[in-house]
Structure 1
Amino acid sequence: MGYVEGQGLGSSGQGIVNPIEAQARPQGAGLGAVREKTKQARDEEKREAARRGESIEDSSDEEKRRRRKKKQERKTESRSGTGTPVPRPKPKFRTAREIEDAMEGLEVPNVLKSLIDATGKEQRVLTSTAGLMASQEFVSQGEGEAMKIARRARTDLEAFADEWKGLTERKKFIELEEAQVVDELDAYQARLNHLTGLIAAVEELDIFEHEESTASKFNEMTEKVEAMESKYRDIGDEYKLAETVVAAIHPLFRQAMEEWEPLQDPNFLVSNLARLQPILSRRTENGVQQRSSTSPYETMIYTLWLPRVRSALLNDWDVYDPNIATSLIVAWKPIVPAFVYANLIDQVVVPKLSGALKQWKPRSSRRHPSQQDGKFPWWLFTWLEYLGERHTNPKQPTGLMSDTKRKFRVVLDSWSLRRGLINGIELWRDALGSEFDVCLRNHLLPRLARHLREDFTVNPQEQDLTALEDVLRWKDFFKPNVMGLLLVSDFFPKWHEILYIWLTNDPNYEEVATWFTWWQSQIPKEVNELAIVEDEWNKGLHTMNLAAELGDRAAAELPRPATTGRTALPTRQDAVAEAAAAASKAAPVPQAKSAIVEEIAFKDIVENWCVEQGLIILPLREAHPKNGYPLFRITASATGKGGVVAYLHGEVVWVQNKKAKDVWEPMGLEDSLVERAEGR
C-alpha cells in the first residue's frame, strides 16, 4: 500500500503516522473529567500544524506557563516598592513574671519560672532568681537537657495561663448569672406575695361586718373594692380585676334590684357605682380596647338594672308627671352604658310619650274648653333635653316633635281667640324653634284676620274693642309689619267707612278729631310707626280736611274711601298668612295707597300644605263630570298611586268617597285628609 515506517500515509505523507488509539473514559465520569484526546491524536495535530508552517500548543503547556506566571507574580508582590523584602514580625515571648502578673490569682511555682529565650542568635535560659534577662550559654550535653526541660516548662506554663484565663472569665459569668437569678427569684417572690394579698382581698369582698341592709353591705363592699383597686392597680388588667369585682358584686346587686323601687328612690346605689366606675368601666386587654362584646359590668346592668327600670316605667310611671322619671334618668345616665340608655329611651320612654301625645285631642277644647288645660303636653317638653335629634327636631318627617307640631297646628286651628294666648305658648316657641313662626303664619294669622273682619265693628257711639284686643294680644309673636298688614287689610277699611259716614252727616269736627286721636292711641306704638299704617292715618286726616273744606257740600261731594284693603283680601285663611310672610321677607313696604296683600290662589295654598305634610298633589287631566272642575290626586306614595281624588272649589277641598264614587265630601287641610291620602 506504499506505507513507509516513520512517515505518514498517502503519497505525500500527509496522513497519520501511528495507528489510531482509543481513550477509555472511566465509568460514570462526565465530559471534562479526563482528556478526551489521546497522545497519538495530539502528536498528529502538532505534525499537521508543522507541515502547514503553523505551531500549536498543548493545553498542558499552557497550564505550566500560567503556574509559572502566578509564581512570579507572588514573588513580585512579596517585595516592597524599593525591592527590599518586608521583615517578618519577631515572635514575642512572655516571661513567667509577666504571665503571673497578667493572670489575676495565678501563682506560678518557682520551678516553672525558668524560661527559654530563643529570640536571639544564641538560646538563653531566663530565670527569676538569676534575673529575667540573665543569659547562660549551653556548652555541655547536660545543659542541652536543661534547655529542653525549660522549653517544655514554658509551653506548659502558657497552657496553664490560657486555661486559667478561661476559668476566670467563666467564674465572672457564673457570678453574673447567679446575681440575675437571685434578682428574678426576689421579683417572683415579691409578685407572689402581692398576688397572695390580692387573693386574700378578693376573698374578703363577700365578708360583711354589718348585716343590717343591702345598702350597708354595698357601702362596705365599695370601700373594700376602692382600697383593693388602689393597692393592686398595677396588676389589675393582667388578672382581670374588673371581671373579679363584677363577679363579687353581682349577687348583691341582684338582691338590691329585687328590693329597689326605682320611682321612689331614683338615686339608690348611684353614688356607690359612681365611685367604682374607674374599675368597673375598665375593659382593656393587652392595651387594646375590646368593643366586639359587652364588658361584665355592661352585661350586669343590661340583665339586672334595665328590666327593673323598664318594668317600673311601663307599669308605675304616670306619663303626665315627668319629674320622677327624669330624676331617675338623670341620676343613672352617667353610670349606665350608652346602649342601655338608648334602649331605655327608645323602647320605653318614647313609646309612652308618643301614646300620651296621641291621646291628647286639642279639638275637644271647642266643646269642652276646660279639658284642654289638663291635657296640655307640658310634660313632653320636659323630656326634650334627654331625647335624640330624631325626636327633638320638628323638621324631621317622623318623631315626637314632628307629631307635636301637627298637634300644635290643630291647637292653632281650634283655639278660641277670646281666651287669649294659648297655654304655655312660650314652651311651644322654645320647642318648635323656627317651625313655631311657620305654624303661626299658616294657621293663626288667617284666623286673626277673619276674627277682625267678621267679629270687629267700628262704632263711635258704643265701641267694643274685644275683637281688636284679641288680635293685638298676639303682637309679640309677629313682626310689627305683619300686624300692620293685618290692620291695613281688615281694620282700616271699616274705620275709613265709618269716618266717611260721620263726615257726610253733619259732623262735629272737634268730636271727630278726638275720635281720631283716641283710635291712634289704641294701636301699639311700634305698629303706628310703620309706613303703611301712617299712610292710613294720613288718608283719614286728608278725608277730614277735605270734608271741612267742602262744608255743607261734603254730603254730596266728599268721595267715598276706596276699599282697596278689603278687595285685596284673600278669600282663604292661609292667603293672608302667605302674603304677610312674603311682605316680612321683602324690601320695606312702599308708601302707596294701592293694595298691599296680593291675591294668592287656593291651589297654591293646598300645594304648599301638601309639601309640609309630605304629600303629593297631581293633576289627573280630567274634569268633574257635573261641575267641570279639574280633578287632582292627593297621595303619600312616591309612585303617584293611591290616596284620594279631589277638586278645589269655594276654598274647600272636595274629596271623592271611596265607596260611593258619585259622592264628594268637603274636607279641610287637616289630619283627616292626611290619613285619607296615606290610605288609612
Structure 2
Amino acid sequence: MDSSTNARHKRKVADMSSDSEEDARPTMGFRGFARPSSRSESPPASMGGLGSGRRNPWKNNGGNMPSGRSTPSGGGGGGGGANSFAARMMAKMGYVEGQGLGSSGQGIVNPIEAQARPSGAGLGVVREKTKQAREEEKRAAAQRGEILEDSSDEERKKRQRKKAERKKEARSGSGTPVARPKPQFRTAREMEADMEGLEVPNVLKSLVDATGKEQRVLTSTAGLMVSQEFVNQGEGEALKIARRARNDLEAFADEWKGLTERKRFIELEEAQIVEQMDTQQLRSDQLTELVTAIGQLELVQSDDTRVQFDQVTDKLEALQTKYQAEIDEYRLPEVAVAALHPLFRRAMEDWEPLQEPTFLVSNLRRLRPLLSRKKNSELTQRQSTTPYETMIYTLWLPRVRSALLNEWDVFDSSPATSLLVAWKDLLPPFVYANVLDQLVVPKLAGGLKAWKPRASSRRHGSSPANSARFPWWLFTWLQYLDDRHTNPKQATGLLSDAKRKFRVVLDTWDLGRGLISGIELWRDALGSEFDVCLRNHLLPRLARHLREDFDVNPQDQDLTALENVLQWQPFFKPNVLGLLLVAEFFPKWHHILYIWLTNDPNYDEVAEWFSWWRGQIPATLNELTIVDDEWNKGLRSMDLASRLGDRAATELPLPTAPETATPSDLPKQDHPPQPPPEPKPRVVEEISFKDILESWCQEQGLIMLPLREAHPQNGQPLFRITASATGKGGVVAYLQGDVVWVQNKRAKGVWEPMGLEERLVEKAEGK
C-alpha cells in the first residue's frame, strides 16, 4: 500500500470516529428506552438498551456485525454495565437482572438469537428453533407447572426403547441367549444304512470320517489305513481331496434319495392306473351288456299294442333290477320313456278312459321306481319336467280331457272317479291338479247350476228324472277336491254354491213328503253350516206348519202335521223341538182340554186322552223340563176341575200363555195363538210372479234391484237385473202379468218380452 492510500484511509477512519461520537448521544424513545438518532447508520441496540457511554458498540468486534450471542451482563449488545442509562431505566420499571421481562417475569431472559439457514437449503435441513428459543419454551412451561420435552429427546427415548426391546427378544425366557444349532454331519456308513440300495465305494468310506470331535481325513496307502490330523492353519492336498469326496458323496446320496422317492411315486401311480383300467374295463363290459339289452327293447314279437307293452315292461323291469345303483348314471329313465313313448302313443289313440279306466296302470306301476325317479339337479331352483312327466302331459292328458269334456255325464260320477283313483299315484302333481281344476270342477259347477230345486219342487221333484238331478254326484267328489271347494264357509266354491241351493230346497220342500232325500249327506258335507241352514230356513216353516195345519180334535184327530214336524227330530237338538212344541202345540192342547173340562166331562175319558197324547210325543222330548211342565200344567187343570165339579164351567181359569220366552231359534209371535172352538179354514198362500222372478234370480246368481222409476207409458215399476255385485250393467225390465219385458240396449224405447231362460241370464251378464 502506498503512502497516499494509507493517508486517505486514516482520514476516513477519523471521520467515522467523529461522526460516531456526535451521533452516540441517544434520544429518548417510547417508555424511556434509548433510541439512536435518525442520522445514525449503526444497527439497533439489543433489547437491553444502549449503554450510557460513547463507545462504539462495534469497536470490540473489530468493526464487524455482532455475532448474536448475548452479553455477559444480559443488558444488551452495547456492553453497558449495571450503572448504564438503559439499566437504570429498566430497573425503574421493575426489571431484575437474571429474570425475564414483564411485571411477573414471564418474558424472555436472553436476547433473541438469529438462526442462519444455508444458502439454497429448504425447510427441515436445519433445526428452525435455536437453543435459546427451546430453553425459553422450557422455562415458560416450568412457570406454568408443565414439563416440556423436546422432539429430539422424545426420538432419543424411542430409539432407546426399541433397542431395549431388541435385546430382550434376542434372549430366551430364562434370560440366557439361544444357542444356534450346530451342523451335524453323517458318516458314509450312516448314509449307506439310511439309503436303501445305496452302495458307497470303499475308497469314499476311507476318505470321509466325521465321527469324532475333530475332523479327520483318512487316506489309503497300499491297502493300509493311516490317519492324519489336519489343523486349520494350512490345507494340504489330502484335505482338499477329502472335502471334494465328501461333497461328491453327499450329492450322490441326495440324488439317490430323489430317485428312490420318484420310483415309489411311479409304482403308486402305476397301481392307480392299473386299477382305473380295470374299472374302465368293467364299466365297458357293463355298458356293452346295457347296449345289448336296450337293443332288445325294439325286438317285439306281436302286433297287439297291449302285448308289446307287456314285453317292453318286462325288459325294462329287468334293467331296473340289474342296474339299480346306476339308474341316474346311465340315464335309464330317459331310456325307458324312449322305449315306451311310441307304444304309449298308439295305446292312447285306441283307449276309452271312461270304459277302461285301469288301462296300462299295472304296467306303469311296475316301472314307477324307474319312471318317477328325479335327478338331483331338480333340487335346484330350475323347474323342468322329466321325460315321463312330459309323456303324460302330452299323450295322456289330451285323451282324458277329450273324454271328460265330451263323453262324461256329470250326474254319473263313478266312471270319472274310478279313472282318477286308478291313475292318481302315477300322475305328476301338476297334471292331477290340472284334471281337477280345469276339467272336473267346471263340469261339476255346470251340473250344479243345472239343478233347479225350486222348479223341481213345483214339478213334483220325486220323479226319477228330478231325482237324478239331485247332487249325489257332488258328495262323491268332495273327497278329491281341495279346501276351496269343500269348505262351505268360503265365499266361492262348489260347496258354497251347493249350500245356497240347499237353502232353496229347505224353503220350498213339501213337508208332507217327509225328509229331504240325502239329508244325511248334506249334514256330513256342510258341518256346522247345516244347523244354521235348518234354523234359519226350516225351523220357521215347521212352526208355521204346526200353527196353520195342525188342530187338536178329540173326535177326529189328525196327526199328520205333528208327525211331519217330529220326523225332523234327529236333525235338531231336543231343546229346540221342545221349545217348538211349547210355543205351537201346547197352547192348542190346553185350549181343547179347558173346553172339555168345562162341559160336563168324563174324567176317565179325559185321563185316557191325556195318556194317549203324552205317548204321541217322543220320550226324549217329554224328559225336557219345559215339556214336562206343560203336562203337569194339564194335570193341575184336571185336578182343579174335578174338585170344582159343576162350578168348573164358571170358575176354572182359562189356560195362560207359556211362561217360557220364545227363543231365538223359533219365529217370534206378537200374540200366542188362540184357536177358536171351530177349526178355521186353511189359508192358501198365493205366490206372485215377482217372488218367482226373485227366486229365479237368486238361483242363477243374479241381482234384482228396484230403480224407483216407472215405465213412461204403462206406469209399471222398473227393475235392473244384473250379475254384477256393484249393481251396474245388466238389463232394465218390468213385469206385466207373468211376462218379463226387457229394454233393448240399442233402442231404449223398444221393450221385448222374455221368459226365465238362458237368454235373460246372458243379457244380465252383459253378453
Same fold (TM over 0.5): yes
Cα distance in structure 1, aligned partners of 2:180 and 2:637: 140
Which residue pairs with 1:591 in the alignment?
Answer: none
Amino acid at match of 1:125: L
Question: Equivalent of 1:272, from 356, 363, 376?
Answer: 363
Which residue pairs with 2:444 in the alignment?
Answer: 353
Counterpart secondary structure, 1:125: strand
Q: How far off is 1:326 after superposition?
A: 0.9
Cα distance in structure 1, aligned partners of 2:599 and 2:398: 82
**After superposition, what is the alpha-carbon deviation per residue over 1:458-507, rounded to whole angstroms, capped at 9, x for unaligned?**
11112121221111111111111211111112211211121122122221
Which residue pairs with 1:283 in the alignment?
Answer: 374
Question: Equivalent of 1:190, from 271, 277, 282?
Answer: 282
Question: Between Structure 1 and Structure 2, how many residues are aligned?
Answer: 558
Moved more, 87-96 or 417-426: 87-96
Which residue pairs with 1:104 in the alignment?
Answer: 196
**Is 1:115–1:126's contact at 8 Å kept on the other side of the alignment?**
yes
Which residue pairs with 1:384 in the alignment?
Answer: 478
Counterpart secondary structure, 1:487: helix
Counterpart secondary structure, 2:218: strand
RMSD between superposed Cα atoms in Å: 5.0
Q: How far off is 1:148 after superposition?
A: 5.6
CA gap of 1:558–1:189, structure 2 versus 1, over 3 A, is same
Q: How far off is 1:242 after superposition?
A: 2.0
Q: How far off is 1:357 after superposition?
A: 1.9
Which residue pairs with 1:475 in the alignment?
Answer: 569
Question: Equivalent of 2:309, from 218, 226, 243?
Answer: 218
Is 1:321 matched up with 2:403? no
CA gap of 1:13–1:426, structure 2 versus 1, over 3 A, is closer
**Is 1:125–1:136's contact at 8 Å kept on the other side of the alignment?**
yes
Amino acid at match of 1:544: M
Amino acid at match of 1:260: W
Greater RCO structure (CA 8 Å; 6+ sep)? 1
Is 1:337 matched up with 2:428? yes
**After superposition, what is the alpha-carbon deviation per residue over 1:91-143, rounded to whole angstroms, capped at 9, x for unaligned?**
766554444333322233344443156878896525599687x52589xxxx9
Q: How far off is 1:253 after superposition?
A: 1.0
Is 1:410 matched up with 2:496? no
Amino acid at match of 1:169: E
Which residue pairs with 1:303 in the alignment?
Answer: 394
Which residue pairs with 1:521 in the alignment?
Answer: 615
Cα distance in structure 1, aligned partners of 2:543 and 2:395: 59
Q: How far off is 1:267 after superposition?
A: 1.0
Cα distance in structure 1, aligned partners of 2:615 and 2:180: 131
Cα distance in structure 1, aligned partners of 2:496 and 2:728: 25
Give me the TM-score of the superposition, normalised by structure 1.
0.70
Is 1:374 matched up with 2:468? yes
**After superposition, what is the alpha-carbon deviation per residue over 1:519-557, rounded to whole angstroms, capped at 9, x for unaligned?**
111111111122221222222222222222222222233
Q: Which sections of structure 1, spanning at least 5 residues, go unmatched? A: 3-8, 16-21, 26-30, 38-65, 570-575, 583-593, 597-608, 623-631, 646-655, 660-671
Moved more, 431-440 or 238-247: 238-247
Cα distance in structure 2, aligned partners of 1:318 and 1:86: 102
**After superposition, what is the alpha-carbon deviation per residue over 1:262-298, rounded to whole angstroms, capped at 9, x for unaligned?**
1121111112212222222222244735652222211
**Is 1:114–1:150's contact at 8 Å kept on the other side of the alignment?**
no
CA gap of 1:286–1:318, structure 2 versus 1, over 3 A, is closer
Which residue pairs with 1:652 in the alignment?
Answer: none
Amino acid at match of 1:579: D
Which residue pairs with 2:249 in the alignment?
Answer: 157
Cα distance in structure 2, aligned partners of 1:235 and 1:519: 83
**After superposition, what is the alpha-carbon deviation per residue over 1:12-52, rounded to whole angstroms, capped at 9, x for unaligned?**
6999xxxxxx9999xxxxx99xxx99xxxxxxxxxxxxxxx
Q: How far off is 1:166 after superposition?
A: 2.4
Cα distance in structure 2, aligned partners of 1:618 and 1:369: 30
**Is 1:635–1:644's contact at 8 Å kept on the other side of the alignment?**
yes
Which residue pairs with 1:60 in the alignment?
Answer: none
**After superposition, what is the alpha-carbon deviation per residue over 1:642-676, rounded to whole angstroms, capped at 9, x for unaligned?**
8999xxxxxxxxxx9997xxxxxxxxxxxx9xx99
Cα distance in structure 2, aligned partners of 1:96 and 1:128: 20
**Is 2:540–2:666's contact at 8 Å kept on the other side of the alignment?**
no
CA gap of 1:226–1:417, structure 2 versus 1, over 3 A, is same
Q: How far off is 1:448 after superposition?
A: 1.5
**Is 2:576–2:665's contact at 8 Å kept on the other side of the alignment?**
no
**Is 2:657–2:672's contact at 8 Å kept on the other side of the alignment?**
no
Counterpart secondary structure, 1:368: coil
Q: Which sections of structure 2, spanning at least 5 residues, go unmatched? A: 7-60, 68-117, 127-158, 674-694, 710-718, 733-739, 744-757
Moved more, 285-294 or 431-440: 285-294
CA gap of 1:556–1:188, structure 2 versus 1, over 3 A, is same
Is 1:175 matched up with 2:175? no
Is 1:419 matched up with 2:513? yes
Cα distance in structure 1, aligned partners of 2:413 and 2:699: 31
Which residue pairs with 2:333 in the alignment?
Answer: 242
Cα distance in structure 1, aligned partners of 2:728 and 2:202: 123
Counterpart secondary structure, 2:325: helix
Counterpart secondary structure, 1:460: coil
Cα distance in structure 1, aligned partners of 2:179 and 2:487: 101
Counterpart secondary structure, 1:237: coil
CA gap of 1:88–1:356, structure 2 versus 1, over 3 A, is closer
